Amino acid sequence: MKLFNHNDDQRPLDQEPEFNQFIDAAMSRRHFLKATGAASTVSFFAANPVSQAIANTMPSTSTLMGFNAIPISTADTIEVPEGYQANLLISWGDAVNSDAPNFSQSNDSNAQAMQFGDNNDGMTLFPISEDRAVLAVNNEYTNNEYLYEHQGKNISADDVRKAQAAHGVSIIELKKSNGHWQVNLDSRLNRRITAFTEMEMTGVAAGHALLKTNADKSGRKILGTFNNCANGQTPWGTYLTCEENFNGYFANTSDAKLGDTYDRYGLKKEDWGYDWYKFDPRFDMSNEPNEPHRHGWVVEVDPMNPNSVPKKRSALGRFKHENAALVVNKDGHVVVYLGDDERGEHLYKFVSKHKYTAGADSNRDLLEQGTLYVAKFEGREGELNGKGQWLELTWGKNGLTPENGFPDAASVMIFARLAATQVGATTMDRPEWVAVHPNNESVFCTLTNNKYRGVRESQPINEVNPREKNPYGHIIRWNPNQGDHTADSFDWDIFVLAGNPDVHKDGLLAGTDNINKDNLFNSPDGIGFDLAGRLWIQTDGKYSNKGDFSGMGNNQMLCADPETGEIRRFLTGPIACEITGLTFTPDYKTMFVGVQHPGEDLAPSHFPDGGNHIPRSSVIMITRKDGGVIGA
């Protein structure tokens, strides 16, 4: 069976599924929840007293963080600090409207289109009132081994449609009753955006010849969004969903070579095992060579208008977008920091042409026009800090000219990766999320890991990517010149090099000083700040708990004090999951956290339903038993 991990090299499954029969998952889950006597609390979230005893012995110095760190876990549970609790909000396949059937692995595409999508990732809560809010959640990808009863061995047309319906974005209204947030299935705002929802291309690339297909001669009307990784939000109330590994859905059934621009985006003869091209001809590049140009963008969605047409924003460039960290600069320009998550790719910044005006309708067009930049880092030899520059990606400047393969302004955005190389951008160790500090101008970015660092000629070791093969990842921080996010220079340093001081006694693989035996982790990915300036760090790393990764356990979420550098483990996830996606209620007393792909590659997880049930990606809610602010 062919099924590949979405972010790694192609990794065929090496074992046949062991699951034979499943009882009706939805039915049993209801019984299970009833038996526990709690509407949405499941046993996976039980506190662990032994763990807590160990945690209480850990040192604590930060005044920003008021909780006791927890130890690692290899259990199939969510663990949180003493005094905290985790409840389930929604899982893949749960209804998003009152007509939807209950979850079953045998649900068809029509059912899936009315259910919560799979592999939830980045998300934003949009408050409406004290007891109403809308949650927009990305649904990044699907796992054939769980999506289908046949585990992907015999894909049909409806299977493809079901997978496409499991991708995209789920928008759900939440209501608070008896102090608990839950999904309001009757809300008119509930919506699924999928890989076949109609969208509009905007900005300089809209209508370009490279975006025209047999089905869309205008080059402006695009069907769908998929591999929606992380996210962003705007002060004018819209949601930004970022298209990451779009290449994995395309195949080329002809023998004709597609060329360099396809190679640079990882578009190959074979797809990653989704098989969409077999039943949806737009995913066969021999039919539709321009369809891949219509994906790899940031998409702006109005979560308060279920009839609105999502807008793909070509001014933010086409690459494997991780998230979109938007900040309104002091002068009113909107700045969006953007990571391109692939080994040796780049870090970008968009600056809007026009300025933000609170309450103005014109804000809705701010992402339509602006200037894209890419980062070039310079180091101080032997130090983990230095200076950097933002290089402008504007047609006609910096060698972005027809003789270098850029015939017009649209081509610079459509092939932003090639433009970045042309101007001399620094190749990075997989830029994942970017987060801007709420109370100053510092900006943080996770560089998750990179086995090609120091191995491939194009990815030499340098100060900002200082470790050969970088197995653990790191987080960098920069301060724009004079606190101006539109400035073309910045100072940077490394906030943390994750590492393992137990395995590597010294040197860079031991990690920076803020890594110790009590907070080991690898592959930082999702990050976000709360209002007080606590930096939350989520991991998508190796969970073998062996060798280089011993003492790290399952993927987790940590909390950092940006001032002192201290990092404490706050949450551990179930088996073979990734923790990704975070958002808060306005009072910061409820934190929504994503558990993605528990049981990946058929690892033995049954989260969250327990028993024999297949694992399901889920959104959980963290609260304090005393009702206080999370992390304080």
Positions touching ligand FEO (CB under 6 A) are: 7, 140, 229, 244, 322, 341, 432
In Å, how far from its chain's centre is CA 524? 11
Give min distance, CB of 432 to ligand FEO, in A. 5
- Where are the extended beta strands (E) located within 203-314? 221-223, 228-233, 239-243, 298-301, 311-313
Give min distance, CB of 581 to Ca ion, in A. 9
Kindly report the number of other CB atoms within 10 A of residue 344's CB atom.
Answer: 18
Q: Cβ-count burial of 274 within 10 angstroms (0-12 exposed, 13-18 middle, 19+ buried)?
A: buried
Tokens of 528: 């976000």
- Which of 123/414 has CB closer to Ca ion? 123
Query: Taking CB within 5 to 8 Å according to partner kind, which of Ca ion, ligand FEO, none is near residue 145?
Result: none
Task: Please name every residue paired with 138 in a beta bridge, in sequence order, or none if there are none.
Answer: 169
Kindly report the number of other CB atoms within 10 A of residue 603's CB atom.
Answer: 15
DSSP-derived 3-state class of residue 34: helix
Give min distance, CB of 446 to ligand FEO, in A. 9
Distance CA 537, CA 565 (A): 13
- Where are the extended beta strands (E) located within 207-362? 221-223, 228-233, 239-243, 298-301, 311-313, 321-328, 333-340, 347-355
Q: Which stretch binds Ca ion (CB under 5 A): 255-263, 370-378, 471-479, 524-532?
A: 524-532
Find the Cα–Cα–Cα–Cα dihedral 182, 184, 185, 188, rounded to 10°: -150
Give min distance, CB of 526 to Ca ion, in A. 6
Contact between 167 and 140 (Cβ < 8 Å): yes
- Which of 168/203 has CB closer to Ca ion? 168
Contact string 395-434 vs Ca ion (x = CB under 5 A): ----------------------------------------
Distance CA 367, CA 362 (A): 10
Give min distance, CB of 130 to Ca ion, in A. 32
Give min distance, CB of 529 to Ca ion, in A. 17
- Which of 238/448 has CB closer to Ca ion? 448
* Interface with Ca ion (CB under 5 A), residue from 118, 368, 540, 566: 540
- Which of 120/486 has CB closer to ligand FEO? 120
Contact between 523 and 343 (Cβ < 8 Å): no
- Which of 206/230 has CB closer to Ca ion? 230
Give min distance, CB of 524 to Ca ion, in A. 9
The amino acid sitting at 79 is E
By the rule CB under 5 A, 525 interacts with Ca ion: yes
- Which of 203/473 has CB closer to Ca ion? 473
Query: Taking CB within 5 to 8 Å according to partner kind, which of ligand FEO, Ca ion, none is near residue 73?
Result: none
Q: Cβ-count burial of 542 within 10 angstroms (0-12 exposed, 13-18 middle, 19+ buried)?
A: middle
- Which of 368/432 has CB closer to ligand FEO? 432
Query: Taking CB within 5 to 8 Å according to partner kind, which of Ca ion, ligand FEO, none is near residue 244?
Result: ligand FEO
Q: How many residues bind Ca ion (CB under 5 A)?
A: 3
By the rule CB under 5 A, 243 interacts with Ca ion: no
Query: Taking CB within 5 to 8 Å according to partner kind, which of Ca ion, ligand FEO, none is near residue 140?
Result: ligand FEO
Give min distance, CB of 445 to Ca ion, in A. 12
Give min distance, CB of 523 to ligand FEO, in A. 10
Give min distance, CB of 431 to ligand FEO, in A. 9
DSSP 8-class letter at 235: T
By the rule CB under 5 A, 518 interacts with Ca ion: no
Please list every residue from 442 through 471 that binds Ca ion, using CB under 5 A: 448
Query: Taking CB within 5 to 8 Å according to partner kind, which of ligand FEO, Ca ion, none is near residue 325?
Result: none
- Which of 145/578 has CB closer to ligand FEO? 578
Lookup result for tokens 């943080």: 444
Lookup result for tokens 């975006």: 211
Q: Which stretch binds Ca ion (CB under 5 A): 146-154, 246-254, 399-407, 521-529?
A: 521-529
- Which of 283/444 has CB closer to Ca ion? 444
Lookup result for tokens 């031991």: 510
Lookup result for tokens 């301060």: 479
Tokens of 176: 């608070």
| Strands 311-313 vs 198-202: parallel, antiparallel or unpaired | parallel
DSSP 8-class letter at 425: P
List residues near Ca ion by CB under 5 A: 448, 525, 540
